[in-house]
Structure 1
Amino acid sequence: MGKIIVVLEDDEGIREVMHLILSLEDYEIASYESVKQFVNREGSPPDLYILDVMLPDGNGIDVCRDLKSVNKNVPVLMMSANVSRNEIEHACLADSYLEKPFDINRLLDKVRSLVEMTN
C-alpha cells in the first residue's frame, strides 16, 4: 500500500492534476474541495496534507493550525497564489510552501521530501 496524501483544494482542475500526478507516483490520494468535506472525512491520519489557503468555506491556514495542534508529526504542504510564504510561516506551522501556479517537478520534489519525514 502506498503512502496516503490528503489534498484540500477547491479548484477542480488543480485537484484532478494533482490526483493524476501523485497517483502515477504510487501515492494514494483523498481529495476534498471544501473545509466542510475535509473536516467530515474518516480514516486514519495520512502521510501528508496538501492544503490550499483560500477556500470557499474557510481558510487553509486555520485548517493547518488545527491539524498541527492535534498531530505535529504529519507534514503539511501549503499552496497559494495569493498569500506569501512569509505570511504562511508566521500564521501556521506548515512544513513547506508551494506557490501557484506550480511546477509539477517542484511539487513532486516537495511531496517526496515531506513524505520521507513520516518514515
Structure 2
Amino acid sequence: MNNRILVVDDEPSIAMLLDYNLKLADYDVRCVYDGGAVFEAIRSFRPDLMILDLMLPTMDGVQICRKLRSEGNGLPIIMLTAMQELSDRIAGLDHGADDYMVKPFSPQEVISRIRAVLRRSGASSPEAPPAEIHLGEICISAERRDVTLNGRLIDLTPKEFELLLYLCQHQGRALSRQQLLQNVWDYHFLGDTRIVDVHISHLRDKIEADARNPRYIQTVRSVGYKMTDPYAIPGQRKSTLASR
C-alpha cells in the first residue's frame, strides 16, 4: 500500500504543487488548507507523514505540533516555513517536528526528505532491527522502538529515537553534526546543522539528570557529539547489544 501524505498549507498553489508531484511519486495525498481541519483529516485519512505549513489560519503549525505531541501522537512531520530567521525556521523542531524546509523549495527535495523521514520512522519498512541496547541506565529496544531509563518509559519523537539509537550504536565515537545529518536524517549535502543541536538538546532534557551537565551525550568541541556510559569501568565498554 502506498504511503499516505497529508499536506497542510493555506496557499492553494503550493498545496497543488505538492499534490501533483507527490502523486507522481506514487503517494496517496490529501490536502487541507486550515489548521482547524488538521485533526479531523488525521483521524479520517490516517496519514503516514504530514507536510505542515508553519503559518496557517485558525491554528498555526507550532500549535498543531505541540498538541499532537502532547497527546502522544508520533506522526512524522515536515514543517514548511517562509521565515528567514533561524529561530523562526526551527520553531517547529522545538515542538516535535522531525524536519523543516524553507520556501521556496524543490518538489524533488521534498520527496527526498519524505523518503528519509519515513525510512527512519519505520513507516516505509515492515522490518525492525531485532536488537536491544543497554547503556548505563538506558535500554533501547529497536524492535519495539521504545526507550526506558531506570525502567521508566521515555517519551521520544521518532527522530529523537533514531538519533539516540545511532549515538548508542556508535558509543564512544566522536560524531560530527554532518555525520549525524547524513546517517539519521539521510541528508547527503552540507546543510544547516542546527537541526542536530535542537534534537540533542531535547534528548538531554529527557535522559539526563542535569541537561546542563550531561553524563551520556557529551559535546566534542569543534566536532559534534559522542555517547558515553557514565558507569563504565575505564578501558571497558559496558553497553551491550542483545539480539533475539
Query: Normalising TM by the smaller chain, what interval?
Result: 0.7 to 0.9
State how far apart, in whole Å, the 1-side matches of 2:19 and 2:72 are.
24
- What is the correspondence of 1:11-26 to structure 2 with a 5 Å cutoff? 11-26=11-26
1:75, 1:94 within 8 Å by CA — same for their partners in 2?
yes
- What is the correspondence of 1:1-40 to structure 2 with a 5 Å cutoff? 1-40=1-40
Deviations 1:31-74 (A, max 9, x none): 10001222333425311011001012221111011122234432
Q: 2:103 aligns with which of 100, 103, 107?
A: 100
1:76, 1:94 within 8 Å by CA — same for their partners in 2?
yes
Matched, 1:87 2:88: no
State how far apart, in whole Å, the 2-side matches of 1:97 and 1:63 are.
15
Of all paired residues, the percent bearing the same amino acid is 29
State how far apart, in whole Å, the 2-side matches of 1:86 and 1:80 are.
9
SS at match of 1:46: coil
Q: Quickly say closer, same or farther: Cα 1:99–1:17, change in 2 above 3 A.
A: same
1:5, 1:30 within 8 Å by CA — same for their partners in 2?
yes
1:34, 1:55 within 8 Å by CA — same for their partners in 2?
yes
Deviations 1:96-118 (A, max 9, x none): 00101112221111011112222
2:48, 2:76 within 8 Å by CA — same for their partners in 1?
yes
Structure 2: gaps spanning 5 or more residues = 126-244
Greater RCO structure (CA 8 Å; 6+ sep):
1
2:76, 2:98 within 8 Å by CA — same for their partners in 1?
yes
Judging by fraction of residues, say which structure has more helix.
Answer: 1
CA-based RMSD of the aligned residues comes to: 1.7
State how far apart, in whole Å, the 1-side matches of 2:11 and 2:35 are.
13
- Relative to the length of structure 1, the TM-score reads 0.88
Mean Cα displacement is larger for which, 20-29 or 64-73? 64-73
State how far apart, in whole Å, the 2-side matches of 1:109 and 1:100 are.
16
- Relative to the length of structure 2, the TM-score reads 0.45
SS at match of 2:97: coil
1:45, 1:74 within 8 Å by CA — same for their partners in 2?
no
Structure 1: gaps spanning 5 or more residues = none
State how far apart, in whole Å, the 2-side matches of 1:5 and 1:50 are.
7
State how far apart, in whole Å, the 1-side matches of 2:37 and 2:44 are.
13
